[in-house]
């Protein structure tokens, strides 16, 4: 299992912070750098939020080793035709390091504030499925794509230039839903990303995914298994207590967070690896704490 960093781009991300974090993640040996794609937080106050695809374009040209991508870019405010064009171009620019995380959208406040229709319940996933059909068609085939759907209508749509990577950038679908989400993963994705799951919860869903893949004639190894979760890391007990700020570490671990000093972090990562996690993306909330990233790298890499 390898370790990557995930940041919440709507929580104060600026160009200086993005450049500093990207260079640190690359130099320290982490496997990748991922970020959310939001206009704002789900509640005030609003903070700086560097545009996601513009930031990934810079990353593609200014790093050489790490994987990167959105966790995740919503089809609710990014049309699949534009997402496919941007993703293919950024992947080519990086030499094939983009992981295209896509989602149905969930955060009500940003959709309301910026006039994007979020939709309700099943409609949201129906739209997402139509977008996934488009990604599959234009990434994997040169044949013009025509589709008369409820949400999207395509007429001889093509993606040019063709992606350099056969099949285009790999699709990642995130979420914990046992039926609709994992069903879409089995049908379309090359990576499933669980969110805030304990080892037991992750293994349960991974086993379910294996069965869904088999039903579609796919092998389990065709879909990488990753986990995005929170992290509270202290280089010693004193620092950990300060960062916990009164929170119960055991309760945080129960909801899937990784909490502790170096040995405790290593033990929890080991349990996740045994549960089938191949890559863990840990949320790093303090965008200025590069020294903390270095300490984490020394502890777990």
Tell me the angle at which helices 290-300 and 262-274 cross, rounded to the nearest 10 degrees: 60
Predicted confidence at residue 36, as pLDDT, reads 97
Report, as ranges of residue numbers, the positions in the chain whose pLDDT lies below 70: none
For 2-300, CATH gives 3.20.20.30
Predicted confidence at residue 216, as pLDDT, reads 97
Domain map (residue ranges) of the chain: 2-300
Considering only CA atoms, which of 260, 258, 261 is closest in space to residue 269?
258
Element (H, E) at 32: strand 32-35
Predicted confidence at residue 2, as pLDDT, reads 96
Predicted confidence at residue 124, as pLDDT, reads 96
The span from the first CA to the last CA of the chain, in angstroms, equals 10
Spatial separation of the C-alpha atoms in residues 274 and 64, rounded to whole Å: 30
Inter-residue contact 188 to 167 (CB < 8 Å): no
Predicted confidence at residue 121, as pLDDT, reads 85
Inter-residue contact 86 to 73 (CB < 8 Å): no
The CA distances from residue 257 to 74, 151, 195, 199, 294, in Å, are: 24, 37, 10, 10, 20
Spatial separation of the C-alpha atoms in residues 247 and 205, rounded to whole Å: 28
């Amino acid at each position: 299992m390898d370790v990557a960093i995930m940041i919440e781009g709507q929580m104060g991300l600026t160009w200086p912070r993005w450049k500093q974090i990207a260079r640190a993640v690359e130099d320290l040996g982490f496997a990748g750098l991922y970020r959310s794609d939001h206009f704002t937080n789900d509640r005030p106050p609003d903070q700086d939020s560097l545009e996601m695809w513009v930031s990934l374009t810079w990353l593609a040209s200014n790093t050489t080793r790490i994987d990167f991508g959105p966790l995740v870019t919503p089809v609710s405010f990014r049309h699949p035709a534009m997402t496919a064009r941007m993703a293919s171009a950024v992947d080519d620019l990086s030499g094939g390091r983009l992981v295209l995380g896509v989602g149905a959208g969930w955060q009500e406040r940003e959709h309301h504030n910026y006039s994007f229709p979020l939709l309700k319940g099943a409609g949201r996933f129906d739209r997402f499925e139509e977008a996934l059909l488009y990604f599959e068609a234009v990434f994997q085939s040169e044949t013009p794509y025509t589709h008369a759907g409820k949400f999207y209508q395509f007429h001889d749509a093509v993606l040019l230039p063709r992606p350099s990577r056969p099949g285009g950038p790999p699709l990642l679908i995130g979420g914990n839903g046992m039926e609709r989400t994992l069903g879409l993963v089995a049908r379309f994705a090359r990576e499933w990303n669980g969110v805030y799951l304990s080892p037991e919860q992750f293994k349960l869903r991974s086993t379910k995914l294996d069965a869904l893949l088999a039903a579609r004639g796919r092998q389990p190894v065709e879909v990488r298994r990753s986990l995005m979760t929170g992290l509270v890391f202290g280089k010693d007990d004193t620092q950990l207590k300060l960062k916990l700020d009164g929170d119960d570490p055991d309760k945080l671990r129960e909801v899937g967070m990784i909490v502790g000093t170096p040995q405790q972090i290593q033990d929890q990562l080991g349990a996740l690896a045994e549960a089938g996690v191949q890559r863990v993306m840990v949320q790093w909330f303090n965008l200025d704490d590069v020294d903390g990233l270095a300490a984490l790298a020394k502890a777990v890499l």
